[in-house]
Structure 1
């Protein structure tokens, strides 16, 4: 048996389109070819009745637009896709409400200027079940786990090779969609500072109390002068729903795959903790406002819970 040892270049941008002819992709060739075919068809239709100079004047802006659409980019997005997204955004409703059904019309007795009709807000997540799994509707269910981290740079070369081998073993064992999400969220030190100040008064020695108060003052100054962030690594396992009773089977498969990932990644010193319903609800809520501090889990109501006031009426 002979092995093919030819070298293939892989671009750093793995989402880069394949080059079909020269430096042009199939999409670019389609735009350029469509523009050329349009101009040629128009010339063949009216070329005998219109002078060549007039045809050139009319065809030049169309050709320039076609070339710009083919090779132009805006913030890394091709110009044709950017313009298509702009048109789609312009035509889409701007007032969205979280209602699964159609929005009813306002009553006729309201004397108000008629405005744009709100539309339902369609989110990929339909809800969070009691076991912490996210209901994705026709896309299945998703299980979310928070994964710890290891210091790769402080390991020896042999330890680094072992970590990469274990991680590669987990990647090769994947039997369905999986996502590794690294997100940053704000850190609120107000509770920690308050606890330090309260405990400092009960310390047995004045030097310990002074050190605790100095540390609380340092944390307060640090929180006031800097935007404190912490990184959170999440592992999301998704399983499709198949059949009438497919939701329970998909949930079982997702939990089983997450347990297998936890066992394999445990060889790297990583621990995966499955998020419960409150933690997943807080995670989804924080995604709507990433700049705000995360909500405490005890302040997040589970599906079906009755929300009451914290003080008597």
Structure 2
């Protein structure tokens, strides 16, 4: 699957990436776990459909009642149509320079803050709904004051969210200019029980699959496929022994695409079928 460089693919003149950029995104088919290299921090104002994003250490799913502020980086995202035939959202990108300008102008000089997650979920309300309606890429094309208008729109949503969420949002904004990168092991171990494939975890580590396998073998003294399978099967055994869940209810959550493959792997490791575990 090719990597999509965003927002570059939306900009006609790739030689010049603007500091602020609004884009109307529409789609007529589902896209599952596309590889995205997000080169700028971005607001995703979802209007119709559902969105899920896998980050290095976690994942988040939202619908049209929520919006997301996403940190730049290598992410996997899934965009799903809802009852409508078109998936529709407004994207608003901003550079680190514009963010720093804003923080210097309006916020306190807080200590560097390490965020737990690379996203901020925004609960939409009437004001945000009206804001989204006003944020159309057509508004800022061939407009004498388009750059100035975009700065105002950027400051408007930032100030509104600072007022709405207070210190929580302010700290998050400061974390966006942090240069800390999640360590390799933290990314791997955060995805032990996800249903991501090896190449998808490698992508979140910003590595090719072959490089990822080398790093993994060096860090864990074991091939990643076997290590992950053992961890996931051990977790499955614990869940089944708890007595409240069946194999058919857990196989997807621990990385198997079908019940049959899970049952075979389980029996190969433990010598019994998942259904034979006594509660």
Shared fold, TM over 0.5: no
Normalised by the size of structure 1, how large is the TM-score?
Answer: 0.20
| Greater relative CO, 1 or 2 (CA 8 Å, sep 6+) | 1
